[in-house]
Structure 1
Amino acid sequence: MHGSEILRTALRRNLGAMTWGTALMGLYQAGETAFPIALGLIVEHTMRDRTPASLALSIAALAVIITTVSFSWRFGMRVLQKANTTEAHHWRVRVAGCGLQPVARDVDLKSGEVLTIATEDADQTADIIEVVPLLISSLVAVLIAATALGMADVRLGLLVIIGTAAILSILSVMSRRIGASTQEQQARVARAGAKVADLITGLRPLRGFGGNHAAFRSYRTVSTEATHQAITVAKVNGAYAGTALALNAILAAAVTLTAGHLAFQGQITIGELVMAVGLAQFIMEPLKLFSEMPKYVMIARASAERMALVLTAPPAMIPGQERPSPSGDLEVDCVRYGSLRKLKFQVSAGEFMAIAAYQPRAAADLAAILSATIPPDAYDGAIRISGQRTADLSIESIREHMLVNPYDGEIFAGTLRSNIDPSGTSRMIAEAVEASLLTDVVALHREGLDHTVRDRGANLSGGQRQRLSLARALAADTGILVLHDPTTAVDAVTEQLIARNIADLRRGRTTIVLTTSPPLLNAADRVLVLDDGVITADDTHRNLLTTDQTYRQAVAR
């Protein structure tokens, strides 16, 4: 999908609203054009027939024109703005939906950049819904003015048509530069937004080792680049607007002077002169609108091209369509990826197994593969759920049967309840809260589970955020649950209780914990030692403490 295709889709989807909007805005422009024409006719007839009836008829005609102009503008813009807002919402939702899906790693799209595309670019793309009707209605006004002037004198009508064509030719060349400059500006603003999102996410660790000042300097550089490009765009827009205004004024002056010359020579009447002067003044507004449309079209196209970057981004993996049987066993068969070297092990259905990874990178690589965020063609070997390869399963079925809870699980703005049970369907909220020892947080606040949680859990401590994330994983109650370092931010006593609670709550369901926590290792049915990318030991925690000195040194605290 390209930007032009996005624009065509938007126009096609709103054809009905645009038709009505174009008709009403055309009626508005026709009424605006008719006003100076009516004034000219009133002057012409009043000079010949000076009666109260003629004056009353003239006033009535002006009242009809003013009423038509008022209502056609009111309802025309209402129709177009509703369609514009609805279309922008459609693209925001679609871009956000694509942004939430994992994409191939060679696609350089950061979350902050996607956010900018889903807001500003979606709005500017939807502006095409208003641009086209306004463009057509402005053309209607110019044509009516040219026709009316041509009826007074052909030279006046030709002057308007030729002058309008010349203005548009000049401005269309300038609008191309606006489109290119705007696209670059939007890209730099999006990069600045992405940098902000990264800084907010990593602000705590940055402060921890004193890297926040360097990070802020990095953002300042990106922001300065965006500012300079914005200034460039403003200069181009200013030059465009100034040129358009000057050309429109020149055309209006030319029409006025030509009409005055013709009236002086007696080739047009006084009424026609009044009409020509009025149209020369009026025509500047539709000409201004008409001349600005190419700029807005180029901006909409530039925004649509940026949206296409997200909408056409290839997925991280193309899932199959099968569903696993509900037995709940898991097999990792000769997987080679990152720091993993032909990793092979099997977890039986209902087993509680811990994996003690001596290298944190190995645990992270294993969690990434099990979470299905790494495409199957990016690693050797296979992952099987209930005997079926994950490559043959749909993403939805994998998520239903196996949940991988990362050590840095995100906390969202909302409430404790909405973070624990985002879908609102869990029947194990109370059990999950108790097992994760989140009960003290719930009891601390009068609202209980409805206590407000700020963005990224800013009003919670590190341990509270980790226990909240654990509660969410336990409340999901999936057949296979993988926990990655779920207790690193809690004290030893709390960790001991949580380990026991997880074992009790998950009894009979497959559970895998990637950890070096002694309480969790002790609670597991068996422990696999992952060292240098392979399994080097398989036993209980107590036996390994007795027989394996390296293990004892790695996990003892």
Structure 2
Amino acid sequence: MTNTEVRTGRDILRVALRRNGGAMASGTLLMGCYQAAETAVPILLGVIVEFALRGGQLSSLGLALLALGLVMATVSYSWRFGMRILQKANTTEAHRWRVAVADHGLQPVARDVDLKSGEVLTIATEDADQTADIIEVVPLLVSSLVSVVITGVVLAVISVPLGVLVFVGTAAILSVLSVMSRRIGASTQTQQAKVARAGAKVSDLIAGLRPLHGFGGSYAAFQAYRRVSTEAKKQSIVVARVNGIYAGLALALNSLLAAAVTLWAGVLTFQGSITIGQLVMVVGLAQFLIEPLKLFSEMPKYVMIARASAERMALILAAPARMTPGVDVPGPSSGLEVSAVTHGTLRDLTFSVRPGEFVAIAAYEPQAAAELASLLSVEVPPSAYSGVVRVGKREIASLSIESVRTALLVNPSHHEVFAGTLRDNVDPSGTSSSVEEAVSAAMLTDVVALHSDGLDYAVRDRGANLSGGQRQRLSLARALAADPDILVLHDPTTAVDAVTEQLIARNVTALRRGRTTIVITSSPALLDVADRVIVLSDGTVTGEGTHRELLGRDSSYLLAVAR
């Protein structure tokens, strides 16, 4: 699914209908048979009553009863197999859209869409399911129409005014309800957006619960979530109210039409215009008509809901990429060059790292450190900053994202941990040959030894059963196990004690010997083992040398990194 195939919710619904045409045709045929057979039941009952009243032959009555049995069998099997086909197609289509949304959300080039991960999750689940409901809605709509048409035609044969009443009444009911269905679609779209925002907010809250507790901000964060959740609740109540009014009005109008048909048939019977058997037939059809009318009148609402959900999916599927990657690959050199880069707080930033060098970058401002990490990880498109970044002597703008990811790995400071096992987190692809060495270098061995399952110890979602330091070391082990040509570590030891930090610094140096490594840090232990330290102040390079040289000649550096 490419973003050229879908631009709007209409495009998404069109694609869904087109690729499920066969299943929908089969389902529509079977559901049409079901509705036609259901309509035939009161007709046959009227015929049977007419036979009985006229003293018809027993054999004819038996044939009518046999026909009734066949009709009931048709009702049962056509519904069973028709719904099986439609629900299978519905489920499959929902799966396709979930995969499509996930694929766009996980592509290496970020999409230009202002949605948080919690909102994307809602779109990939609830909205995908509601969009796929169109696969069932259309066949049910057509089959309900078949039932209404058959009923109207039969009633017109009995009495033309009765048939006209059914057709006119149905058109009037749909006209009234179509207005409300648009309101439901708009309200549902707003509700989904607010529920998604609430989900994103609680996701952020859970992720930051530990630091929030640390500085006493948990109550304020909870209050912020409560406000967002309250807005979602109020909108859900609005949607429920409109849905309730819609359902009640539809039932009332349908019942009113059925009652009008029944009363008119009674008047015609007293006038002698129709027989008792025909009256039974009309009353039966009028009672039966309520169900397909109810289904028929609800379909516009479901169409609007599917349309609203499809529009939300289009926000992701049609969103343009934030950058157009190149097609080249880095040269054989594993060096890194940053030349005259200006972005955010970074000003005319220029430095280079030779292949195999271990360089530490001491950024006095955390914002500058974060922006440099984002820039090197290609989270910031090259068109968004001035200057040039080169990997292996090739400009990063000319490289494919896959080749950049292979040659250059930036391990962020937020240390994502996933549900699974320790081994899954250290080696997600299952292809690393240096898992044990990475675990040892990151000083994660105590966590492994603490549990009888070792590396197969189960990790909860977001590493809830690990401490902050353990999560950080797990993230570091994952980066080391990937063993890229160029590794960038952003604050890899902020949550560990000083002794462990010293050991990690020596271990990382030994493990990465001969490969290019950059550590953005203010840790004296890591600064001390680096071949060279580059000092960033006010977003530009203000000093360079070994850690000990800088301590001896730069008082600002001494003040910033000494502990």
* TM-score interval (norm. to shorter): over 0.9
Residue type of the alignment partner of 2:152: A
More deviation, 411-420/237-246: 237-246
* Aligned partner of residue 283 in structure 1, secondary structure: helix
Q: Measured at CA, do residues 507 and 543 of structure 1 come closer, stay the same or move farther in structure 2, by a change above 3 Å?
A: same
1:397 corresponds in structure 2 to 403
Taking the aligned partners of 1:463 and 1:186, their CA distance within structure 2 comes to: 37
**Match among 339, 345, 348 for residue 333 of structure 1:** 339
**Match among 145, 149, 152 for residue 143 of structure 1:** 149
**Match among 384, 392, 395 for residue 386 of structure 1:** 392
Question: Could you tell me whether the CA contact under 8 Å between 2:118 and 2:196 is conserved in 1?
Answer: yes
1:525 corresponds in structure 2 to 531
More deviation, 27-36/529-538: 529-538
Question: Could you tell me whether the CA contact under 8 Å between 1:319 and 1:392 is conserved in 2?
Answer: yes
Question: Is residue 478 of structure 1 aligned with residue 484 of structure 2?
Answer: yes
Residue type of the alignment partner of 1:288: K
More deviation, 153-162/480-489: 153-162
Deviation at 1:45, TM superposition (A): 2.3
Q: Would you say how many aligned residue pairs link Structure 1 and Structure 2?
A: 557
Taking the aligned partners of 1:119 and 1:541, their CA distance within structure 2 comes to: 51
2:454 corresponds in structure 1 to 448
Question: Could you tell me whether the CA contact under 8 Å between 2:186 and 2:308 is conserved in 1?
Answer: yes
Question: Could you tell me whether the CA contact under 8 Å between 2:333 and 2:393 is conserved in 1?
Answer: no
1:424 corresponds in structure 2 to 430
Deviation string 1:66-117 (CA, Å, 9 cap, x unpaired) is: 1110011111111111111111111112112223347779742111111111
Taking the aligned partners of 2:266 and 2:353, their CA distance within structure 1 comes to: 95
Deviation at 1:138, TM superposition (A): 0.1
More deviation, 384-393/103-112: 103-112
* Aligned partner of residue 334 in structure 1, secondary structure: strand
Question: Is residue 314 of structure 1 aligned with residue 309 of structure 2?
Answer: no
**Match among 214, 218, 229 for residue 223 of structure 1:** 229
Output the TM-score relative to the length of structure 1: 0.97
Residue type of the alignment partner of 2:251: L
Runs of 4+ in structure 1 over 6 Å off: 102-106
1:263 corresponds in structure 2 to 269
Residue type of the alignment partner of 1:316: R
Deviation at 1:440, TM superposition (A): 1.2
Residue type of the alignment partner of 1:546: G
Taking the aligned partners of 1:257 and 1:129, their CA distance within structure 2 comes to: 38
Deviation at 1:314, TM superposition (A): 2.7
Question: Is residue 237 of structure 1 aligned with residue 226 of structure 2?
Answer: no
1:199 corresponds in structure 2 to 205
Taking the aligned partners of 1:65 and 1:57, their CA distance within structure 2 comes to: 12
Q: Measured at CA, do residues 106 and 210 of structure 1 come closer, stay the same or move farther in structure 2, by a change above 3 Å?
A: farther
Question: Could you tell me whether the CA contact under 8 Å between 2:111 and 2:316 is conserved in 1?
Answer: no
Taking the aligned partners of 2:257 and 2:268, their CA distance within structure 1 comes to: 16
Taking the aligned partners of 1:289 and 1:32, their CA distance within structure 2 comes to: 14
Deviation string 1:370-398 (CA, Å, 9 cap, x unpaired) is: 00000111111010001111111111110
Question: Is residue 408 of structure 1 aligned with residue 392 of structure 2?
Answer: no
Deviation string 1:273-320 (CA, Å, 9 cap, x unpaired) is: 111110000001000000000111111111111111122223232211
Question: Could you tell me whether the CA contact under 8 Å between 1:102 and 1:315 is conserved in 2?
Answer: no
Identity %: 70
More deviation, 171-180/369-378: 171-180
1:112 corresponds in structure 2 to 118
Deviation at 1:548, TM superposition (A): 2.5
More deviation, 236-245/449-458: 236-245
Residue type of the alignment partner of 1:206: L
Question: Could you tell me whether the CA contact under 8 Å between 2:364 and 2:537 is conserved in 1?
Answer: yes
Taking the aligned partners of 1:103 and 1:295, their CA distance within structure 2 comes to: 37
1:436 corresponds in structure 2 to 442
1:96 corresponds in structure 2 to 102
Q: Measured at CA, do residues 106 and 63 of structure 1 come closer, stay the same or move farther in structure 2, by a change above 3 Å?
A: closer
Residue type of the alignment partner of 1:61: A
Deviation at 1:554, TM superposition (A): 2.0
2:33 corresponds in structure 1 to 27
Gaps of 5+ in 1: none
Q: Root-mean-square deviation (CA), in Å? A: 1.5
Output the TM-score relative to the length of structure 2: 0.96
Deviation string 1:386-427 (CA, Å, 9 cap, x unpaired) is: 111111111111000000001112001111011011111111
2:502 corresponds in structure 1 to 496
Question: Could you tell me whether the CA contact under 8 Å between 2:105 and 2:111 is conserved in 1?
Answer: no
2:42 corresponds in structure 1 to 36
Question: Could you tell me whether the CA contact under 8 Å between 2:93 and 2:132 is conserved in 1?
Answer: yes
Question: Could you tell me whether the CA contact under 8 Å between 2:35 and 2:144 is conserved in 1?
Answer: yes
Taking the aligned partners of 1:390 and 1:132, their CA distance within structure 2 comes to: 49
Question: Could you tell me whether the CA contact under 8 Å between 2:113 and 2:316 is conserved in 1?
Answer: no
Q: How do 1:17-96 residues align onto structure 2 when only pairs under 5 Å count?
A: 17-96=23-102
1:129 corresponds in structure 2 to 135
2:193 corresponds in structure 1 to 187
More deviation, 148-157/40-49: 40-49
Question: Could you tell me whether the CA contact under 8 Å between 1:347 and 1:353 is conserved in 2?
Answer: yes
